[in-house]
Structure 1
Amino acid sequence: MKGLVLRLLPAGASALAFMAMTSQASADAAGDKVLASVDAALNRWKTQYIKYDVTNQEPGKAERKLELEVKLKGEKRLTEFLAPADMKGTKVLILSSTQMYVYLPAFGKVRRIASSVTDQGFMGLTFTQTDLSLTRYTGMYTAQIASESGDSWKLVATPKAGQEVPYAKIEMTIAKQNTLPTELRYFNASGTHMKTENRSGYTCEGNVCTPSEMKMVDHTKGGHWTRLMRTAWKVNESIADEVFSKRSLEK
């Protein structure tokens, strides 16, 4: 069989080229297997309720403190700001990657969020809507194992053919203990390192684990950073479908 494959290679190709090709295919398969395990670990829950204390630091400005809560059910996500006073009651509803709505109390109206702005900072934070809702990578990305240590893998995820993706490349550090990301480095199509996200202090309810702290640094904005500290967390408690509706935003 090996001889047959070699005969099918272009003229001048050697056994070394064949070995390189098979080695690359093996590396891709191993990376995709780890990435699939990451997806599985990130999506073991049916519902979640998470409350965060948020610190936002823009260069040259005073540190800003916020508080928000998030309700999740399947692909749906409802975020509500609880503080400060000028943002209290602001809500963002995500039904899918193309269906997002915001409610601003000052206007008393629900407005659709244009898909063109979902890659921009969410309410002045370094996290975008996509950053906060992306929990499945294998549909959009293929991965290679760049390196491996005793307790982690370093993956390089690049887009699958024909896929629209939020980032042209993601470098991930994945803890072997729970197959969850501890660092994600985001790059654009030009190869510019745009942002770095760190996730730490994972705790678990059964087999569902989430970080107690997430921090995103935007390198394109002078080191602007946002830190989310988890202060409350509930897993798989009942959340009515009606919560994730445009009507509920005005309540």
Structure 2
Amino acid sequence: MNSIGQPDAGAGADRVAAARRELAEHGPPRTPEGAPDFATVSLPGRDGDAVRDLLMQEQAGTVVEIGLAYAGSALAIGEALLRTGARPPRHVVIDPYQYTAYDGVGWELLCGAGLGDIAELVTAPSQRFLARLADEGFSADAAFVDGSHHFHNVFVDLHFLGEIVRPGGIVLLDDVGWPSVGAAVAYFETHLGWRPMPVASADPGPEPADGRPRIGAYRLPDPRPAPDFREFRPFC
């Protein structure tokens, strides 16, 4: 990865912010036939702001993201990485459907915003690739999870992110109000000491129409606990 100096980082962050606004106002440059609807799968602008602000507050320098789609959350993460001035920033994006369901649109938007030097796209399933990262001793400051919403896949993603994200780091999840996602993270709260964190946007806007919270954030314990299996408790 290339190092980014402080002066260039500021200009780069403004360029990413402009790309985020363009995407929010006009949508992606194209929607591949049969691809999921942009408004349905893309992170709303206010939630993207909340993700960006929390990562900046944490001074995150390395972030793992699961799910790229149309790059709404990826642009917010990239903006945060540039504004923190991390040297070198690193953004690992995992999406096995980027070149099938989405025809590479999200990756094109990310690179078009100037983030190709700090981001890398992995098209392997997250449940397999995260295991490889953990085996390699890879360490991240934070992670953002918006991939499969099946309970078993979310659970496996969180298990490996618990090893990859440094002690005291944070894990954010989209659609945490969905029962399958909320149930998975509840295990890590109950048994592994993940602590919920407040997530707020400077422009909160209207509440979601279905009443479900959109974003959840969790602080990982430091040090990591080693729970006794004989003390297992129901978690949802």
TM-score calculated relative to the size of structure 1: 0.32
Structure with the higher strand share, 1 or 2: 1
TM-score calculated relative to the size of structure 2: 0.34
